Chain A
Amino acid sequence: MPLIKNGQYATDTWTRIEGEVPLPDDGDFIIDAVRLKDDPNLLRPRKGRLGVLLMNTVDAEELAPHLPKLALVALEFPSFNDGRAFSQARVIRHTLGFKGEIRATGKPMADQAGHLLRCGFDAFEDSPRQPLAVWQKALAAVPRVYQRDYAARQDQIRK
């Protein structure tokens, strides 16, 4: 699936593991966040990096104890207008201070890219595929912003 980072197509090194499939020792894998509850072994030192997919019905703060060991959190948009993941991203990035990748998965709309970015997302799965130019335009559109403590270029925030 095409992945967009920094306004460009990016190589996706991550593989998604569904359900209870065992986590290999090598490679970057995204597992269901719910598995962390029952299986601390998933957080063991490995060669690859670990990411989780968090359902949008789950309290993002449940991830707090695990975040230091995670390199990626994927948040889902079952449809573009189900905006729960905006708040989850905000909590993970801002309240919990996560520095890794926050990826929008599911069906984010390219025209939402500006909103996604400002809530803390920095990677977007492009499915169904939308023109790259639309993502780029949306990322650059309306740079001036009123919300002082949401991500933005410093010189374009209402002081």
Chain B
Amino acid sequence: MYRYDEFDHAFVRERVAQFRDQTERRVSGELTEDEFRPLRLMNGLYLQLHAYMLRIAVPYGTLSSRQMRQLAMIGDKWDRGYGHFTTRQNLQFNWPKLEDTPDILDALADVEMHAIQTSGNCIRNVTADHWAGVAADEIEDPRPWAELLRQWSSLHPEFCFLPRKFKIAVTAAEADRAAVAFHDIGLKIVRNAKGEAGFQVLVGGGMGRTPMIAKVCRDWLPKGELLAYIEAVMRVYNLHGRRDNKYKARIKILLHEEGDESFRRQVDAEYEKIKATGGGVSHMVPDAEIARIEKYFAPPKYDALPEEDAQLTQHLKANAKLARWYEVNCARHKQQGYTILNISLKPEGGIPGDATSDQMRLVADLADKFSAGEIRVSHAQNLVLPYVRKRDVVAVYHALEKAGLASANLGLVTDIIACPGLDYCTLATARSIPIAQAISKRFEAPARQKEIGDLAIKISGCINACGHHHAGHIGILGLDKAGKEFYQITLGGSADEHASIGQIMGPGFSGEDVPAAIEKIVNTYIGLRTPGETFLGAYRRLGPAPFKDAVYAQAAE
């Protein structure tokens, strides 16, 4: 994975020093909270309901074991012994003290991490396919480009005061695991007719109160032109994006109001100008620079192994629980004899995405022993050991099981994405976590989960949609109705390569009634599905009517 050189180290230290000074000005009273707010937001520090929250960037979801141990240490020393992995592949600490944050940032800098631009109206942490580099279905590892984007966007002089936040995701695989269509810019490495790899550039996707699927802005862009082209997109957005209404300020609204064609023409015109006026600096990313970054993402030295490991096969035959976990949580690796081992942070009835410091250290140890020291964070709030030999799977499984990390539910009904909601967040209108927990409890029986199959439930505690409810096969949105929490259910959303936005099913529910409503929806699916048909497939075939009938007819009785 990427390693900071002297330049990167110095850059992050300089930024920490700057923030330390700004924090001291706040603590001394030189700055009011109003004046400090924009400064802390540029460094991932939010003021939540009960305390500050510090959001730490995990660029493109890649962590080393050393970094994970440092996060565990920070959790123990300055927080409450746990952290929360987010849908932007980041990690949030919920209880830091303001005056400790510069020290936390220094501790992060020790392991090549930071909180730069994890909030504010700037380019946020760039996310990527969490199986990048190991997925069997990808063209190449997209992370060198994500790292290039991380560097380029860091304290970008022109694009730190945009109309609104700006999110970029990158993938190079057939199956979209990075939800690129729901990003301000989604980048997909694809091949053109000549077989050359380049970027398909999607613009204007997003969730929030106006969910939209991104439009293709460029079918194929030479890779070296990426930064210059994105600069053009950003400039058009910075100059023309709406600033009169924060709910209409994302680039998706600009595209929608201007029309895709007109927007594309403006970007192309700006791009031509950028190419024409380099001022002696080429608009192309220097080959040497991308080559330098690519070197760091070279895969570890793989062992030559048979595709199937005889011992593992025996264990799978003997231990049904292990076999089920392996089937659900381990994915096909591009290298023979290896597997992509996914660690669920969704224990049945637990808090989605939370990990204790002890669990973080265990995962770090396992990464060192069995996965080339590397860990990934997925946007679904789970962890990944990307380089596990099949012969080591059983050892990893047993260690995870002891730590309560062996839930066999990747992609299943209890693998719920949820934002922190009203338990932590000032923006929330309702709680998310208890709803996720109640649903998870209701469906916890392994046989039931297996029967249901692939199902993505996503819960947001407000219209900002941090829990991605629009993209949930079943989405749940928590709202406030006359001082009481109630929940709207959407059906048919999807964040994959056939992205779709969920449709509101009908009137909302109280929190207590949500699990029963979900159960009726699920039972309707099971009753009507054809052999092998997923929930999403069935919904797309059947439409909302049978689900509505089941939920509301019975509710009326």
Contacts and interface: CB of A to CB of B under 8 A. Distances in A.
A8 interface: no
Interface stretch (A9-17, A18-26, A34-42, A108-116): A108-116
Contact of B161 (A80, A141, A146): A80
A138 B39 CA distance: 12
Chain A interface residue count: which class?
A: 35 or more
A118 B157 CA distance: 6
A148 B227 CA distance: 11
Contact of A115 (B39, B160, B277): B160
Nearest to A117: B157
Contacts of A117: 157
Nearest to A143: B14
A70 B156 CA distance: 28
Contacts of A109: 38
Given A147-B152, A149-B278, A149-B281, A111 B11 contact: no
Interface string A70-90: 000000000011111011101
A105 to B, nearest CB: 16
16 contacts: A82-B243, A83-B158, A87-B235, A90-B158, A90-B235, A94-B277, A95-B277, A111-B22, A141-B14, A141-B15, A142-B14, A142-B155, A143-B14, A144-B10, A144-B14, A146-B155
B21 interface: yes
Contacts of B281: 148-149
A83 B289 contact: no
The dominant DSSP class at the B interface is: helix
Contacts of A150: 157-158
Nearest to B11: A144
Contact of A147 (B17, B157, B273, B277): B157
A119 interface: yes
Contact of B156 (A59, A143, A147): A147
Ordered nearest first, which 4 A-B pairs have the shortest CB separation? A83-B161, A118-B157, A149-B281, A141-B18
Interface string B365-392: 0000000000000000000000000000
B22 A149 contact: no
Contacts of A146: 11, 151-152, 154-155
B273 A87 contact: no
Contacts of A153: none
A86 B121 contact: no
B149 to A, nearest CB: 10
A72 B522 CA distance: 67
B305 to A, nearest CB: 39
Contacts of B156: 147
A97 B276 CA distance: 12
B239 to A, nearest CB: 5
A145 interface: yes
